[in-house]
Structure 1
Amino acid sequence: MADDKLYAGHAVRRLRRGAGLTQAAMAEMLGISPSYLTLVERNQRPLSATLLLKLAQAFDFDPRQLAARDPGGGADALRRRLADPLFADLEIDRAELAEWLAAAPGGAEAFARAYDRGGADTVLAADPASEVRREIERWGNHFADLDAQAEALADEVRLSAGDPASALGERLRGRHQIAVRILPAEILPGTLRRLDLHARQLQLSEMLDAASRCFALAQQIGVREARGEIDALVRGAGFADRLSERLYRRHLTSYFAAAVMMPYARFLRACEATGYDIELLQRRFGAGFEQVAHRLTTLQRVGARGLPFFMLRIDRAGQVSKRYAGASGAALVEGPGLCPLWNLFDAFSRSGEIVTQLVETQDEARWFTLARTVQPQGTRAGAVRARFVVALGVAAERAGDLALARGGDAEARAMPIGRGCRACTRLDCPQRSAAPAGRALVVTEHEAGVTPFTFVAD
């Protein structure tokens, strides 16, 4: 929304110290009082547009750096780290976290780096996919430069005026001398797309549906036309290994492709006009359910923000293969496990149907969630048919804008859930399958509760 405020006291303090200025000297340069600058540096006042412009002029930097360099990725990212069962007994609330960031941003950044490199699980911290996801979350899964370029491309090729695949195919052929061929499945066994540079062909399997073909075309255009922006983002991430770089580059290329198919301003207007009706958005933009769900987590353009969704993709075993917190700040995304009381798993038995639920986590945050099954492209008769569930969630107080929540679900009684039994400290949960990590089991012959996993509460 246009009235979102920017708090970046740590970045202002870094600029001042880097220039060797006292608060009084910097305040004089900016034409404000030292006391007001103190409040800004403590995140007790937001940066006004006027002050932001003065800072940019005085210190010659890109104003977007203020939002992109929060210690540890900002309050939401730190909150997700603190949701680790390792810290369950500390009960650090939002106010305490805000004070920490304001008073000791360097300490918060140090904690984040130490946790990411070691944390509770060294194996996960060293996993390239986890490192890439942390970089994505550092940006809130919103890349303004890629969005702007993709939007300009969509306007230039007039995607809204006709067949998007034909328009993108003509762009590849005319500007990059790459032809597009749709080949029979037996010609591309086990492969959905292949770029043959010798023949100058992008070869697509007939097993791909229309949305996936369009996405593949937009990806190839992104590799060529957004290379500068993508290279800059990859360099800025500072990954130590090539695999992380490649995974991150693939995400950014896919981000660009989705932004071409669903240009930011037009997509956001459609979201707001339809009440974020995902099935209608699919038809309007020629996209798949999972593609739209991904896109909904990215709508954080300054001055034109959409609802802050989080997204998960799970299999029947509860394993998470995709997770994006976006701007939601949802600790659920970082959970070591999933709660069986969350109805995500019900979606597997209701194929193609969107199931909704209002849930409440232990920090008393309430979320309106929706979930639906999706199937990967390319499955042939007689082969194993994989199925996943894609779930989206938004803070309950924002759910009134959703068409799916207007039937009363947003005001219904919330289901109390946790982040898996090992991270959940709710007492008397009949669904509990294990005691929380770090809590001692209580075993007695004289009493039996609703669960055999009774534990010491404090």
Structure 2
Amino acid sequence: MNEKMREGRLASARAAAEEAAPVERAAPDALTIGRRLRHVRQQAERTLGDVAGAIGMSPSALSLIENGKREPRLSVLTSLAEALDVPLADLLATAPPSRRAALEIRLERAQRASTYASLGLPSVRIGPRLPTEALEALVGMHEAMAAMRSEQAATPEHARRANAELRTRMRQADNYFADIEGAAAQLLSDVGHRGGPVSRASVDRIAEHLGYQLVHTSDLPGSTRTVSDLANRRIYLPQPEAGQHDARSLALQALGHLVLDHEVPADYAEFLSQRVEINYFAAAVLMPEKEVGRRLLDAKEAKDISIEDLRDAYGVSYETAAHRFTNLATKVLDIPVHFMRISSDGVIYKAYENDGIQFPTDATGAIEGQRVCKHWTARAVFDQPDLSRSYQQYTDTRSGTYWCSAFVDRTPSGLFSVNVGTPYQHVKWFRGRETTERSLSRCPDPSCCTRPPQELASRWDGRSWPSARVHSHLLAAMPPGTFPGVDDTEVYQFLERHAHEDG
């Protein structure tokens, strides 16, 4: 694992642990009041029965108050303060009366949390016989687990930082990973693949070679793309209605976890890294490095590099071909490139660069969720009359002039554009370089495309009130769980059902 990524995770864990530590509250809660009450009573050498009798309360009711299980009314607290001959403020103070009391409160809160209850473990009885060392150890373990849960259930900020760290790793490697290339090449050699497109039958042979059976089914849990039954060595896939290349890619991605020896991800960053690696592995199998490398070198010599040719030659999606091109462009062709997948309203979903282009970023350095300039090729393609053709354009930006080729991808979620670009000095190798389309981007200068023209602004400023569409996925925490968003119960019920049916 990348050392910088590991250090970043440790820093996140420490921050989460600090967040998990108790802070002084603006008003005391029932647990703090109860511990202060018990402390004052014991300091006065008074018994539960004695104090309870003095205010007309049963000892069991007073015990519930001292244990923080019942919130006392102010009138009761006033009577207790009088009976114990202390100011009412002593019972209402926000700070615990002693360090041990603070530890007891922290342990009590931890054991009452729903996350602990979900473990099905018994609670430790907190009393004077519990050694302080044991109390410290229990509190430390609970807060360490809270820190781990906080990191695993990534917030939007955690997710964006993880994306930024992963993009840095990809840039440093020029998006080329020799170990994954080697694993894909070895697997193809093992099954006797002789070159050309990898068919679905070939993918079945690859699975069989690895000791697995591919099973297509129509009842996969809604939160999953595939489910691997490691016990019975089956991989369940959706019915291949979306096209042949989708079925092959999904199967190879599931097999990629096995080939690359992935373990259960420890946190969201590792989950994300694994997803990138299995996508890379699937593309490396479908478009082998040696074949594609030779094809690209020939195309460079002919000054005729085209993503469409890769797509058509290997029967993959335009996005897969574009991704695969970025894997090999710098390593094989010595050409720096950038890649984007954006929605029709300009929001970045995926991106990569090692050619110096400056994507819009947020304060964490993340680009996902940011909106690219309206004048960039990736957005200009949506304005073309024929969306079935790729579109090429030169764009002058603050970081230089780039030539880009973009293609519109129609999906059930709407229109997206897939864009590949390179600096001006490398455009001579690409088909479409003769385009006369050119634009100027001054972003992030607001006058470029984010600030309305003065005439429109003066006419409508203060006279409109749009209802914004909130992108809730950018606000909510990442779905919890070892595999974010996956419903474990649904998966286990699915596996149980199919284990009997398929057995």
State the TM-score bracket (shorter-chain normalisation): 0.5 to 0.7
Cα distance, 1:420–1:351 mapped onto 2, change above 3 Å: farther
| Residue 183 to residue 351, structure 1, CA distance change in 2 (3 Å) | farther
The residue correspondences of 1:1-40 to structure 2 (distance < 5 A) are none
Give the residue type in structure 1 aligned to 2:388: G
2:340–2:348 contact (8 Å) kept in structure 1: yes
* Equivalent position of 1:359 in the other structure: 395
Structure 2 partner of 1:165:
200
Assess if the C-alpha contact under 8 Å between 1:324 and 1:333 holds in 2: no
CA deviation string 1:388-422 (max 9, x = no partner): 111111112111111122xx22xx47422134444
State the 1:153 CA deviation: 2.4
Render the CA deviation track for 1:118-167: whole Å, top value 9, x for unaligned. Answer: xxxx9479633333223322323221221222223234431625753212
Q: 2:451 aligns with which of 433, 436, 440?
A: 433
Mapped contact 1:338–1:420 kept (Cα < 8 A)? no
Instruction: Point out 4+ residue stretches in structure 1 off by more than 6 angstroms.
Output: 448-452
Residue 229 of structure 2 corresponds to residue 182 of structure 1: no
* Residue of structure 2 equivalent to 1:272: 297
Query: What is the rounded CA distance, in whole Å, between the counterparts of 1:143 and 1:154 in structure 2?
Result: 17
Superimposed CA distance per residue, residues 280-323 of structure 1 (whole angstroms, 9 cap, x where no aligned partner): 21121121100011111111675x33532201111122210101
Evaluate the alpha carbon distance shift between residue 404 and residue 272 of structure 1 in structure 2; reply closer, same or farther with a 3 A threshold: farther
Which of 432, 435, 439 aligns to 1:415? It is: 439
CA change 1:269–1:387 in 2 (3 A) is same
1:393 equivalenced with 2:426 (yes/no): no
CA contact (8 A) 1:311 1:333 kept: no
- Per-residue displacement from partner, 1:51-91 (whole Å, max 9, x unpaired)? xxxxxxxxxxxxxx9xx99xxxxxxxxxxxxxxxxxxxxxx
TM-score, normalised with respect to structure 2: 0.51
Q: Partner amino acid for 2:351?
A: R
Q: Are residues 1:299 and 2:328 paired?
A: yes
Taking the aligned partners of 1:162 and 1:288, their CA distance within structure 2 comes to 13
Change (3 A) 1:450 1:190: closer
Which residue of structure 2 lines up, in the alignment, with residue 215 of structure 1?
Answer: 249
Between 193-202 and 283-292, report the one with greater CA deviation: 193-202
Distance 1:333 1:151 in 2: 36
Native 8 Å contact 2:382 2:408 kept in 1: yes
Q: Please say if residues 297 and 333 of structure 2, whose CA atoms lie closer than 8 Å, have aligned partners that are also in contact.
A: no
Please state if 1:196 is matched with 2:229. Answer: yes
Inter-CA distance 217–305: structure 2 relative to 1 (3 Å threshold):
same
CA change 1:389–1:248 in 2 (3 A) is same
2:408 to 373, 391, 397: 373
- Whether 1:226 and 2:244 are equivalent positions in the alignment is no
Change (3 A) 1:187 1:431: closer
Please report how far the alpha carbon of residue 168 of structure 1 lies from its aligned counterpart in structure 2 after TM superposition.
2.1
For 1:430 and 1:367, locate their aligned partners in 2 and report how far apart those are by CA, in whole Å: 17
SS in 2 for 1:321: strand
Matched AA of 1:168: V
Compute the TM-score of the two structures, normalised by the length of structure 1: 0.56
* Structure with larger Rg: 2
Query: How many residue pairs end up in the alignment?
Result: 291
Identity level (%) = 19
CA apart distance, 1:343: 3.8
Tell whether the 8 Å contact from 2:296 to 2:333 is kept in structure 1 after alignment: no
Query: Matched residues in 2 for 1:217 and 1:160: separation?
Result: 19
Distance 1:216 1:415 in 2: 38
1:320 equivalent to 2:348? Answer yes
Give me the whole-angstrom Cα distance separating, in 1, the residues matched to 2:167 and 2:398.
25
Q: Is the 8 A contact 2:197 2:315 kept in 1?
A: no
Secondary structure of the residue aligned to 1:147 is: helix
Amino acid corresponding to residue 175 of structure 1 in structure 2: L
Q: Could you tell me whether the CA contact under 8 Å between 2:443 and 2:449 is conserved in 1?
A: no
User: Matched residues in 2 for 1:135 and 1:348: separation?
Assistant: 31
Q: Is the 8 A contact 2:197 2:313 kept in 1?
A: no
SS at 1:331 equivalent: coil
The answer (yes or no) to whether the contact 1:430–1:450 under 8 Å persists in 2 is no
Partners of 2:405 and 2:278 lie apart in 1 by 27
Structure 1: runs of 5+ lacking an equivalent:
1-64, 70-121, 380-384, 423-428, 436-447, 453-458
